[in-house]
Structure 1
Amino acid sequence: MYRCPLCQLSLQSSPSGYQCPNRHQFDRAKEGYVNLLPVQQKKSLDPGDSAEMIQARRSFLEAGFYQPLSDAVNKMLASVLQQQTAPSILDIGCGEGYYSNRLQHFIQQQQLAALPTTDPAPAVTLCGIDISKAAIKAAAKKYRQLQFAVASSYHLPFADQSFSALLRIYAPSQSSELARVCKASGWLCTVTPAPQHLIELKQKIYQEPRLHSAEIAEEAGFSHQQRQQLSWHWQPQSPTQLEQLLQMIPLGYRLTAEVRQHLMHELPAVTLDFYLDLYQRQ
């Protein structure tokens, strides 16, 4: 389902990678991913999260600190994909693959449980993209059953109507591109920060912290169907855990050395507050 990011023609798979009819060639890395982010679509030499940030994010997520969010996303998408025998899902801004892997496994297990024992296992195709080469390299190396590509969310390297569902956790994107690659009556699940998200950290940085908006964003080509707010308090047990969170979030870069040191000593409880919004392709 890949298409060439340079000329938009279909890419054909080969032992070494992918090639379009115009002979644009994209090699497959030894980890299994393909780089479909041409230099024309880069804003820097090495865009996206660094290898150090990816490692911090992987350690934090695999410790289960955001598992309630992953579980809620999985249940929301499973509820609308349960009638499809072979759903295809795109995770936009997939990072090191934590949410992608858990989503694919959950959907497959839900469908398997609904089938007679004599039926073959259902096929669930999940693709993940990110502009960070370090993130995609880490994802492809660990989750071999999934398909990963370095790519821009504003220039999705996929054919029209390729996916039954799209997942976008925080990642920026363009509504027209989301609508283009989503099948008719397909689904878009987004995760955005709710008003109280990380409020304790904001209060350390700003005299008057600005809360995140509660407004439901419009996505051209989609109609909003459902909103769920998910909130809990996370208590770090060590400076390392808190540091991993700070490396994952933009707020971490705004902390002075003095404030950071104070946080590491205090280890305050942190509010995690998210909106999960479900849209359907019109």
Structure 2
Amino acid sequence: MQKNNPTVPFSGLACPLDGAALTARDGSWRCEHGHSFDVARQGYVNLLPVQKKRSRDPGDSKDMVAARQRFLAAGHYAPVAAAINKALLADLATDKMAGFLDAGCGEGYYLRQLAVAAQRPDRLALMGLDISKWAVQSAAKQDHHVCWAVGSNANLPVLSGSLDRVLCMFGFPVYSEFARVLRDGGLVVQLDPGSEHLRELREIIYPSLRPARENKSDPPAGFERVATESIRYVCDIRNAGLVQDLLTMTPHLYRANAEGRARAAALTSLSVTIDVGLVTLRKTTQTETEP
């Protein structure tokens, strides 16, 4: 559990059933209409109503989450985290409270790195959201200074106009929801895989690689692009366990055939390219969102 760099409590939670503000009281979050959501013993709240689930256990599995936690803890994505921190903290006033949401937080690595990097973490109100209960459980166990919630980007349980920054990594951006929860001038920092990302791993798993898809050049409605950055480096993994963790934490292994999985399982080391694109979008002041 993280004990350093405490942030302030997040107060912008909204009821996923009616959008009303949620207030923490007696181990639960409650809205004025009587809806109540208990805080789990690990310290997170489930704000994904059963009727809005597409499967019984959506998102990353328990094994994927554990593998990702071990791999990220080894520091192989530290340059990515540093670039994200720089983008999220750019032009952020240090004398005012700022609300942050990691929309698809996984096991919380990037929010923990952000709190360490911030000059004034006591001015940050951090929330991590993921559709995987296993991911959120893992995140909550490691850091009690962040508001962790199970939820969906399609229906963010966050009050409108309450956030300054939204982070979306390798996830499912829902720009209409991002625009709704951001204040005017707020930023979305989005990370997507580049054409060479994990290429060496994919070459081992698949018999052939699909052609790279072109990224859309136009920013989504209600946003303007303010910065783009490409992050590319070679990651040398010399630990067989971490190689297998990388395989387990990505969806590629589960898409491969039996032969591809067998080749991957035989690896004891791997040099793999990390290739990601970082895009910063600003919510324009004239944005109008649907209620």
Q: TM-score, normalised by structure 1?
A: 0.90
Deviation per CA, 1:177-226, whole angstroms, max 9, x where unpaired? Answer: 00000011111100001111112233331424322434446322111111
What is residue 29 of structure 1 aligned with on the other side?
A: 40
Aligned residues: 271
* Alpha-carbon separation, structure 1, partners of 2:191 and 2:78: 14
1:57-72 to structure 2, matched below 5 A, reads: 57-72=68-83
1:79-98 to structure 2, matched below 5 A, reads: 79-82=90-93, 85-98=96-109
Letter in 1 for 2:222: G
1:73-84 to structure 2, matched below 5 A, reads: 73-82=84-93
What is residue 236 of structure 1 aligned with on the other side?
A: 237
Moved more, 201-210 or 94-103: 201-210
* Alpha-carbon separation, structure 2, partners of 1:194 and 1:84: 36
1:1-282 to structure 2, matched below 5 A, reads: 1-82=12-93, 85-107=96-118, 110-111=119-120, 122-204=122-204, 205-216=206-217, 218-263=219-264, 264-265=266-267, 267-282=269-284
Deviation (angstroms), 1:81: 1.5
Task: Point out where structure 2 has 5 or more consecutive residues left out of the alignment.
Answer: 1-11, 285-291
Deviation (angstroms), 1:53: 1.1
Deviation (angstroms), 1:28: 0.9
Deviation (angstroms), 1:246: 1.1
* Aligned-pair identity (%): 35
Moved more, 1-10 or 149-158: 1-10
Deviation (angstroms), 1:268: 3.5
SS in 2 for 1:140: helix
SS in 2 for 1:80: coil
SS in 1 for 2:270: coil
What is residue 115 of structure 1 aligned with on the other side?
A: none
* Alpha-carbon separation, structure 2, partners of 1:20 and 1:7: 9
* Alpha-carbon separation, structure 2, partners of 1:24 and 1:129: 20
Aligned CA-pair RMSD: 1.7
* Alpha-carbon separation, structure 2, partners of 1:208 and 1:252: 14
Sort the Cα spacing of 1:91 and 1:84 in 2 relative to 1 into closer, same or farther, 3 A: farther
Moved more, 244-253 or 176-185: 244-253
Moved more, 182-191 or 74-83: 74-83
* Alpha-carbon separation, structure 2, partners of 1:157 and 1:178: 11
Contact preservation (8 Å) 2:166, 2:189: yes
Moved more, 97-106 or 83-92: 83-92
Moved more, 257-266 or 226-235: 257-266
Contact preservation (8 Å) 1:225, 1:278: yes
Q: TM-score, normalised by structure 2?
A: 0.88
* Alpha-carbon separation, structure 2, partners of 1:34 and 1:257: 38
Task: Point out where structure 1 has 5 or more consecutive residues left out of the alignment.
Answer: 112-120
Sort the Cα spacing of 1:252 and 1:208 in 2 relative to 1 into closer, same or farther, 3 A: closer
* Alpha-carbon separation, structure 1, partners of 2:154 and 2:219: 17
Letter in 2 for 1:178: F
Sort the Cα spacing of 1:99 and 1:208 in 2 relative to 1 into closer, same or farther, 3 A: closer
Contact preservation (8 Å) 2:240, 2:268: no
